[in-house]
Chains A and B, each alone.
Chain A
């Protein structure tokens, strides 16, 4: 009976994974297809991977995506960490409404965030004489990334023992030293986690970029969107496969690291007992 239940449970999960991975497998398989067809297999080739690096539209949009994601993630991590520490040291009466405002871009539908920022940039642009472009794209990404960093740093701050900061200052640390030597190392896992979330949010974003990048700059998602209106080149399958493999490797490294840390922690706890 139990074995049977276990089997049907695994079968159900298996079906879900087939559903989730079938389109991805298709994309990866057809990045090696020697014809342009999306449904008929006509032989193995690496041609699309070779052509990819000579396609200036794809390469420039890939550069835009990567530079926006990296810059936005780094800026949002620094700003978000400072903001979280600031919020944490406020009274509840101030902290709660500020956190609620900070979460607006997270809870709003992407399209609403996108059009509202678009309207802001257009009206500021006509006032201060600038066009939508890389700058506005970056500002938009930083804006929707910061709340994710705050949300992942906040719980770590709540776990922090307040006495540690006082102790450091009693022992002669300036508040700057207390900040760098006590607070930052304690909340570092939350900061790194926040940066990862911000980076992936940026890389995957289409809707907000679409409304805030203007007509001169294109992210990879925007290039793909423009192509879906006509016909998608297998080169796009190739670049996505490369990105997917990259993310997979990163995730594997993180997971292995976490598993190892947990194991060490468990060993440490056992020796203490």
Chain B
């Protein structure tokens, strides 16, 4: 008996629970309720262009904001002493262990019209804001939930940059700004790419954040899929077609990332 045969049970498991489901989704997407082969499900997606564009727009804005906040945070974090780094890293990861539905729900209490933010604003004599149930609230929820997924991969790449490269650049006369622009930033690109993927994929597919913070008016792709399976508009064929499109998007992201040399293990393990 050889050690490699230890993988056989899992290969069987993958065939049933990883590959078969993907094939079933493919099958549903290409058939109608009567079982005939059709492309109608993909045509029907045309009716939901508004949902597609809203999802992509909101996910893209959230990803950009996460990058704008997350990159400096990751960089500053990597300049701290190891002890401080360890504590701060833990503090960044810790919120992920509080149920994310509840954390999102807590934002509802903050952003509501009579919520804490508006109370604070009126206490300070400032005009109140109407944020809840707008796309802005959805973006806040996304940035809040997915920011750690941007900080962690960028940090893990920056922290591994060989210090002698930076010293060499400094010896050759580069100032702080050009060290960053010519050494640190290019070397951190794999982390940036995996951060973008790790934020964009869940953001474009979420349905909880849009339901809680966006009200009924800001339906996203995730809501659309959910409605086809468990909600009011039961149609697993259409739902599978949308899920298939989402799979293709994810694969494109992965392909882009591999092309620029970020390993998949890096992308997943922080």
Contacts and interface: CB of A to CB of B under 8 A. Distances in A.
Contacts of B254: 107
B180 interface: no
B105 A98 contact: no
Interface in B126-173: 144, 147-148
B177 interface: no
Interface stretch (B30-38, B42-50, B85-93): B85-93
A224 B208 CA distance: 11
Contacts of A247: 94, 97
Contacts of B7: 82-83, 85-87, 90, 98
B3 interface: yes
Interface residues of B, number: 84
A119 B28 contact: yes
A272 interface: no
B133 to A, nearest CB: 14
Contacts of B105: 224, 228, 232
B185 interface: no
Contacts of A85: 3, 6-7
B76 A9 contact: yes
A224 B101 contact: yes
The SS class assigned to the B binding surface is helix
Nearest to B10: A83
Nearest to B103: A23
Residue picked from A27, A85, A108, A111, most chain B C-beta under 10 Å: A111
Q: How large is the interface on A (under 10, 10 to 19, 20 to 34, 35 or more residues)?
A: 35 or more
A258 B101 CA distance: 31
A179 interface: yes
Contacts, number: 221
A111 B225 contact: yes
B39 interface: no
A2 to B, nearest CB: 11
Nearest to A152: B269
Interface in B211-237: 211-212, 222, 225-226, 229-230, 236
Interface string B1-17: 11111111111011011
Given A38-B109, A109-B204, A111-B225, A12 B98 contact: no
Interface of A: 9, 12-13, 16-17, 19-24, 26-27, 30, 38-39, 79-80, 82-83, 85-90, 98, 101-113, 115-120, 123, 139, 143, 146, 148, 151-152, 154-155, 175, 179, 200, 203-204, 206-207, 210-211, 220-221, 224-225, 228, 232, 236-237, 240, 243-244, 247-248, 251, 255, 259
Given A17-B91, A90-B7, A112-B25, 10 more contacts: A9-B79, A20-B147, A83-B10, A86-B5, A109-B246, A152-B269, A204-B99, A204-B100, A240-B98, A251-B90
17 contacts: A9-B76, A12-B76, A19-B144, A27-B98, A38-B109, A86-B5, A90-B4, A90-B7, A109-B202, A119-B240, A120-B17, A143-B13, A151-B265, A206-B99, A210-B230, A224-B101, A247-B94
List the 8 shortest-distance A-B pairs measured between CB atoms, nearest first. A86-B7, A23-B106, A116-B21, A109-B205, A83-B10, A86-B6, A89-B4, A247-B97
